[in-house]
Chains A and B, each alone.
Chain A
C-alpha cells in the first residue's frame, strides 16, 4: 500500500508543473476576456466624450450692430408682427462690413457674411422684443457664429486647425477677430433649448428630449399596470393549463423577438389599420409598450415569486380573499422588484431606435411637440439622424447627444439599483 501511494504521489508531482501552467493560462484567458470587455467600454466612453465635449461650447462673434429702424423696416418695436418680420440680415451685414471695411466685391462680401449664423437674426429679434428702446441704437452683441467658424476655432485650439469649407480669406478674418478679442466660446445653451435644425449651430436636443419624455410617459402609463396585472395573473391565479402555457411561451418568445419586428407591427396595425398618425409619441409609446411588456412581466413575476408562500398562507388563513391577499400583502412586498424591472424596461425603451424608425419618428421636426399626438422624434433617433449628416459640427453634436442619452440611462439604472438595495427585503 505504501509503495503504491508513493508511486501515486511521484506521478502526481511529475505532472504538476504542466497542470499549473494550464491553470495559469486559463486564468489569463479569463482575465483577458474581462479586460477586453472593460477596455471596449472605456474606449467607447472616451471616444464619445472626446468627440462630444466640445459641443457644449459655442463660438460667438462680437459685433457692433446699429438697429436702424429704416434698415430693419420696423417703426413700432412694440408690435410683435413687425418684430417678427424685421429685416435683421441687413443690419448684421452692415455691422460686418463696418468691422471689415477692406472687404470688397460680391463674393468676398458673401464669404464674410457667411461667418455669422443665420440664427443670429433670432438673437436680434429677441433683443429688440425684450427691450424696444434699443431701436435706433448701436448695441454691441455676441452673435452666433456659423458652424464652420465654430469647428475651425475649436480644432485650432486643439492644435490642428481644420478649415474645411472656409476659404483663406475667411480664416484670416477669423484670426483677426480672435486677435481683437471679438470672438469667444461660451456655454452652448442652444443645444439644450432648440430643436432640430439643418444648421448645426442652431440644432439642439430639446425637441428630441421632449419627444422621448412623452413617448416614455405613454409607455410607462400603459406597460406598468398591464405588466404587473399580467404578472399577478400568471403567478397567483393562472391554472396549470394550455392557455397559461401558451401565454408563458409567448412572453418568453416576445422577450427575444428583434425590436424592429415590433416596428413592423406598429406600422401595419396602428398606422395602416387603425389609421393613427405617423411620427407621434402615442404610437411610439404603444410600440415600445408591447416591446417592454415581456421585460416588465418577467421581472414582476420574479418579484412576486420571491414573496414567501408563508405570507400568502397567513393572509388566506385569516380569511382574506385571493384579491385581498394579493392587493394587501403580495403586491406591496413585491413592489420594489416590480419598480426595478419597470425602470430597467423604461431604460431599454429610452434607448430603442429601430422600431421608431418604422413608425416614422425619423421626420425632420423643428417644433417642440405639445402633446402625445404631435409629430416628434426621440433622442436615439435624433442621434441616428445627425450621425448621417456630413458636417463636422454635427459629429460633435451627435456625440454630445449620446452623452446626454447615456447620462439619462445611467441615472435610470442607478435609480433602479438604489431602489433594489434600499427597498428589497431578504427572506
Chain B
C-alpha cells in the first residue's frame, strides 16, 4: 500500500462523506415535510461531513509524510553498530542513502551483514509505517463519518459551521505569508548564528579579505579561510550603482515621455514592449551579459587603451540596469499618473510648457513615490543573482573601479551552496550569513520604500 493509494482512499471517503451527509439531510427533511424545514441546504450538511472527514485525516497524512522519513532514519541509525554511530551527520546521511540503495537491491558486490540487516529493517519499517498510516487515516475518516451521521438533525446549523471552517481555511492561507517570513528568518538566522560562532561577527562585517576556500588538508596554504565580507558589499554596491545609473534616468524619462507626451497609440505599443524587458528571465540577461556585453565592453575599453577585465563590473551592471528599466518606469508611471490632472491643468493654464510642468510641478509632487520606486529598484539590484553569477567574477577584489572584476553577495551565496557541500563547514554556513545580510538589507529597503509610497498614495486619495 503506497502513499497515493492511501490518499485516493481518503479522497474517496471524503466524497462518500459528502454524499452521506447530503442524503441523510434529505432523508431527515422528508420526515418533517421537505428540505425547506431544514436549518441549512442539504449541500451544507454534505459539505460539513466531508470537511470533518477531510481536515483531520489530511493533516495526519501530511504530517506523516513529512516526518516518517526522519523518524525511520533515526531509528535505523540508532540500531547500527557503534562504528557508524560516531559518524558525522553528513556521513550518516550518505549511509542512509546507501542503505536505501541496498534495500532497493541496487548494490555492487555483497554488502556488509550489518548494513544488509539495517537495510532490511529500513524496508520493514517503511512498510509498517505505510500500513499504520493507512490504518490511522482511514479510521479517523470513518470516525468523522460516524460522528457526523449521528449528530445530524434538522435543527443543526450546518451552514454556520461550514462557513466557520471556510473562513478558517481562508485565514490559514493568508497566514502562510507570515509563516514564510518566519521561515526565512529562522532558516537564515540559525545557520548564520552557527557561522558567527566560528567566525566573529565583527570579522565578518569589517574584514577586508574574503577567501572562503577552506583547505582539505590542514597543511595546505590558506587553510584557515578568510571571511571578511567587505569586498562583497563593495562589489554589490558598485554593480548596483552602475545598474541604477542606467536604470533610473532612462526609466524615469521613459515614464515621463509615455505619460506626458506620447499619444495613446504610441503608449499602447511602447509600454508593453518595454515591459517585455522585465519579463525576460534573468538567466537570459546573464547569458547576454557574459557572452555579448562583456566582450564588447572589453574590446571597447581596449580600443580606448583601457585595461578592462573580461568579467568587468561594468558589463554586469549595465545589463542589470537594462533589466531594471521597466521596473523603474512602471513604478514611476504609476506615481506620475497618480498626480491629479488638476495639477497639470493648473500649470498649463498659467502658460507653462509641458516640460516646465513636468519638472516643476509633477516630478516634485511625485517625488516621494519616485524615491520609493527607486528604493525598490535598488533592493532588486542588490538581490539580483543570475546576471552577476554569470557575468561578474568570483574574485573578491576590494575596488570601486567598474572596469575590474568584483564579486557580490549573491554570487558568493550561489558559489558556496551549489555543488557538493558539507552542511556544517563554515564555508556553507557563510552563505547563510550572507543570506541574512541580504535579507535584512533588502527588508529595510522594501519597508522604507513601501512606507514612502503608501504615504504618498494617501496624500492624493
Determine if B250 is an interface residue (Cβ-Cβ < 8 Å): yes
Determine if B291 is an interface residue (Cβ-Cβ < 8 Å): yes
Q: Return the chain B residue nearest A27 by Cβ.
A: B261
Q: Evaluate contact between A233 and B173: CB separation under 8 angstroms.
A: yes
Chain A: minimal CB distance from B416 (Å): 10
Q: How far is the CA of A257 from the CA of B436 in the complex (A)?
A: 12
**Most chain A beta-carbon neighbours within 10 Å: one of B66, B176, B417:** B176
Determine if A108 is an interface residue (Cβ-Cβ < 8 Å): no
Determine if A37 is an interface residue (Cβ-Cβ < 8 Å): yes
Q: Evaluate contact between B279 and A258: CB separation under 8 angstroms.
A: no
Q: How far is the CA of A294 from the CA of B191 in the complex (A)?
A: 26
Q: How far is the CA of A238 from the CA of B450 in the complex (A)?
A: 21
Residues of B within 8 Å of A, CB-based: how many? 96
Complex interface: chain B residues within 8 A of A399 (CB) = 287
Q: How far is the CA of A12 from the CA of B352 in the complex (A)?
A: 11
Interface string of A248-273 (1 = CB under 8 A from B): 01111110111111101101110011
Interface residues of A in 349-363 (CB under 8 A from B): 350-354, 357-358, 362
Given A257-B439, A354-B386, A383-B283, A34 and B174 contact (CB-CB distance below 8 Å): no
Chain A: minimal CB distance from B452 (Å): 13
Q: Evaluate contact between A383 and B284: CB separation under 8 angstroms.
A: yes
Q: How far is the CA of A239 from the CA of B348 in the complex (A)?
A: 44
Determine if A40 is an interface residue (Cβ-Cβ < 8 Å): yes
Q: Return the chain A residue nearest B188 by Cβ.
A: A264
Complex interface: chain A residues within 8 A of B450 (CB) = 249, 252-253, 256
Q: How far is the CA of A354 from the CA of B286 in the complex (A)?
A: 12
Q: Evaluate contact between A395 and B291: CB separation under 8 angstroms.
A: yes
Determine if A100 is an interface residue (Cβ-Cβ < 8 Å): no
Complex interface: chain B residues within 8 A of A353 (CB) = 281-283, 385-386
Chain A: minimal CB distance from B437 (Å): 11
**Most chain A beta-carbon neighbours within 10 Å: one of B181, B277, B384, B439:** B181
Partner of B270, one of A34, A51, A293: A34
Q: Evaluate contact between A268 and B283: CB separation under 8 angstroms.
A: no
Partner of A268, one of B250, B432, B447: B432
Q: Evaluate contact between A34 and B274: CB separation under 8 angstroms.
A: yes
Q: Evaluate contact between A230 and B253: CB separation under 8 angstroms.
A: no
Chain B: minimal CB distance from A199 (Å): 21
Partner of A247, one of B175, B190, B253, B358: B175
Interface residues of A in 285-312 (CB under 8 A from B): 290, 293-294, 297
Complex interface: chain A residues within 8 A of B446 (CB) = 252-253, 256-257
Complex interface: chain A residues within 8 A of B285 (CB) = 44
Interface string of B183-206 (1 = CB under 8 A from A): 110111011000000000000000
Determine if A380 is an interface residue (Cβ-Cβ < 8 Å): yes
Determine if B414 is an interface residue (Cβ-Cβ < 8 Å): yes
Q: How far is the CA of A350 from the CA of B279 in the complex (A)?
A: 11
Complex interface: chain A residues within 8 A of B280 (CB) = 44, 351, 406, 409
Q: Evaluate contact between A26 and B359: CB separation under 8 angstroms.
A: yes
Complex interface: chain A residues within 8 A of B256 (CB) = 30
Given A23-B353, A33-B249, A34-B258, A247 and B174 contact (CB-CB distance below 8 Å): yes
Determine if A49 is an interface residue (Cβ-Cβ < 8 Å): no
Q: Evaluate contact between B359 and A261: CB separation under 8 angstroms.
A: no
Given A27-B355, A237-B171, A264 and B383 contact (CB-CB distance below 8 Å): no
Interface residues of B in 312-366 (CB under 8 A from A): 322, 325-326, 329, 351, 353-356, 358-359
Residues of A within 8 Å of B, CB-based: how many? 87
Complex interface: chain B residues within 8 A of A321 (CB) = 159, 163
Partner of B257, one of A31, A260, A357: A31
Determine if B162 is an interface residue (Cβ-Cβ < 8 Å): yes
Q: Return the chain A residue nearest B287 by Cβ.
A: A387
Q: Evaluate contact between A19 and B353: CB separation under 8 angstroms.
A: yes
Determine if B304 is an interface residue (Cβ-Cβ < 8 Å): no
Complex interface: chain B residues within 8 A of A226 (CB) = 173, 176
A to B contact number (C-beta, < 8 Å)? 264
Determine if A347 is an interface residue (Cβ-Cβ < 8 Å): yes
Given A33-B249, A256-B380, A265-B187, A384 and B390 contact (CB-CB distance below 8 Å): yes
Partner of A265, one of B180, B325, B389: B180
Chain B: minimal CB distance from A228 (Å): 8
Determine if A22 is an interface residue (Cβ-Cβ < 8 Å): yes
Determine if A275 is an interface residue (Cβ-Cβ < 8 Å): yes
**Most chain A beta-carbon neighbours within 10 Å: one of B169, B281, B351:** B281
Q: Return the chain B residue nearest A226 by Cβ.
A: B173
Chain B: minimal CB distance from A296 (Å): 11
Q: How far is the CA of A82 from the CA of B435 in the complex (A)?
A: 53
Q: How far is the CA of A46 from the CA of B47 in the complex (A)?
A: 56
Complex interface: chain A residues within 8 A of B253 (CB) = 29-30, 32-34
Determine if A165 is an interface residue (Cβ-Cβ < 8 Å): no
Interface residues of A in 4-33 (CB under 8 A from B): 12, 19-20, 22-23, 25-27, 29-33
Chain A: minimal CB distance from B89 (Å): 10
**Most chain A beta-carbon neighbours within 10 Å: one of B258, B276, B283:** B283
**Most chain B beta-carbon neighbours within 10 Å: one of A22, A37, A38:** A37
Q: Evaluate contact between B183 and A269: CB separation under 8 angstroms.
A: yes
Given A353-B386, A387-B291, A413-B279, A261 and B188 contact (CB-CB distance below 8 Å): yes
Q: Evaluate contact between B167 and A233: CB separation under 8 angstroms.
A: yes
Complex interface: chain B residues within 8 A of A51 (CB) = 291
Pick 6 A–B contacts, CB within 8 A, sort by A: A41-B277, A233-B173, A257-B383, A257-B439, A258-B438, A384-B283
User: Apart from A226-B176, A257-B383, A398-B287, what are 17 other A-B pairs with CB-CB below 8 Å?
Assistant: A19-B353, A20-B353, A22-B355, A23-B355, A41-B277, A253-B446, A254-B180, A260-B383, A260-B414, A260-B435, A260-B438, A264-B435, A267-B417, A273-B187, A322-B163, A384-B386, A406-B280
In the A-B complex, the 4 residue pairs with the smallest Cβ-Cβ separation, listed nearest first, are A258-B383, A30-B257, A351-B281, A268-B187
Residues of B at the A interface (CB closer than 8 Å) are 66-67, 69-70, 73, 159, 162-163, 166-167, 169-171, 173-178, 180-181, 183-184, 186-188, 190-191, 249-254, 256-258, 261, 270, 272-274, 276-277, 279-288, 290-292, 322, 325-326, 329, 351, 353-356, 358-359, 376, 379-380, 382-386, 389-390, 410, 413-414, 417-419, 423, 431-432, 435, 438-439, 442-443, 446-447, 449-450
